[in-house]
Structure 1
Amino acid sequence: MKMLPSVVVPGHPDFEELNRIRDGIFAIAGGNTEIQDAFPQAVRDAIDFVLDPIRTGRTEIRELDNVEKTFVGLKIEHYVRDILGAPKGIRDLVIGSRDVDIKNTLDNSWMIPPETYRDEGPCLVINSKEDESRCWMGVILARESYLNAPNRDGKRGVKSGAVENVLWLVEGAGYPPSVWRAFDMAAFRELRKVQPGTARAAEFFRQNLEKPVPREVVEALLFDQDDPMKRLRKNQGARGVLGPEGIALLSDTFGNGVLQELDRGKLPPRTFMAIAPRNDRERKTLMQIGAIEE
């Protein structure tokens, strides 16, 4: 389903009611900025929760079955309810004096139940497109003219052309792509069996040279270690193992300047990367900071 720009502006028959609901949502959530920040991350977290990459090795929604895709929607709804902190009423949320349904889709139509469309009630609708890492959240009234014919369960989908009658709160916001897509998850799960932890960490970075590695990946790799970050240090850690091999293990706090000097870019916070020098100049630079040895 294509997400269309909203035509709900002053003068539109739904504007006053939907705008009141939107303002009510912003008020209880702490404002527009808070929603723009929290909602995209909630989508990412919900998808990863169901994918469960560490245990299953899956990193993409297409690897889920239909039941699991339903779980993604439910988890997004739960996270949104937590973000808003709104009470549950007859429907999913109470915003001001209105009961509001939450409906989520992973790119199909939102399915509106009879108890909502009978009264042309409001719905908080959510859409996420994993292939684009973009998400939408808005409010719409379940008007007869906006809906398709009922299915066997009596639910009615929103017509593709009626999407323009959604008043958007979040429109096409980017959310973080899965950090796990960059890694061979079968190899990752095998490495989690390796002991001791320092050897495990060193082998992981050998296998993933030049790849930014978020701290959460390191913590998942070293899940059984009391102090996972200790396994990356120079003394009795992966840096001490890799340095003599000519591999530098750098981080955003130890090495961003050098990485930029070596045309590797800048690492985001809480991220690590192992690199091997590509020429004598790089080798000399990494030796000067003690990242590698002769």
Structure 2
Amino acid sequence: MKTGLFLGLATLDLIYLASKPPGENQKVVAVDSTIAAGGPATNAAVAFSGLGNAAVLAGVFGTHAIAQLIRADLAEYNVRIIDLQPGRSHSPPVSSIIVTQATGDRAVISVNATKSQVDSQAINQDILTSVNIILFDGHQIAASQEIAQLAQSKNIPIVLDGGSWKPGLEKILPFVEWVVCSDNFHPPDCDNSQQVFAYLSAAGISNIAITRGEKPIQYLCKGSFGSVEVPQIQAADTLGAGDIFHGAFCHYILQKNFTNALSAAAKTASDSCKYFGTRQWIKNLQP
């Protein structure tokens, strides 16, 4: 069994399935609802665990009652928590999400980790004991930089989930083995995928992928460009698909080459979109 460390955002997600999002000054009755821990690193950790690994999530939790709901959900999926601010009394971020029943598209309103940053002193040297792979989601820059330096000394590879560009990421890039980013990831002065590939290559990254929803994944691997097809499905819910992709990628990259890992992760993420919520796909995994 492999162990992955996932560092970043932990939220509580309130997820509703509805015929459509409400318009201005309108109420909509949901068809279904569910509550789960969320955030890019969090969902990736759950996916990594669901695929048969040991997942450790480092983030800000604290003592608030909402943090206990997050802990309970993660315990159910065997994700171990490292609380980087155990004395924090404020509420963790809460996200409200509406999934459109006919298309699986989601609308999200949330608060990110800007109000819950920790400094590098929060990192214990033992955090990397027995860890095989690390994922950063970019929401804890100072802590990520500290862990990256520790990981480098132990030859532990790092994946960057590039959902969107965040100030300070340039400090982490020199330590990263794989960048898997979305179409919304725009480093400084980058407006298209060619510029993103060029920027990340100049930062010393030789394995780069850009996911584009249901469109083929574009990649650059050791100087060679290519694309990976994504399975076409009827989506029930696209919420968390990118996060699940990253967790699955961490699982597969430990046993496959870059392009095969991208392909296998794309299948896992597509399968997750067949079900409402971010957890049901795990219960439907084939043994």
> TM-score normalised by the shorter chain: which range applies?
under 0.3
TM-score, normalising length: structure 1: 0.25
TM-score, normalising length: structure 2: 0.26
Q: Which has the higher helix share?
A: 1
Q: Which has the higher strand share?
A: 2
Larger relative contact order, structure 1 or 2 (CA cutoff 8 Å, min sep 6): 2
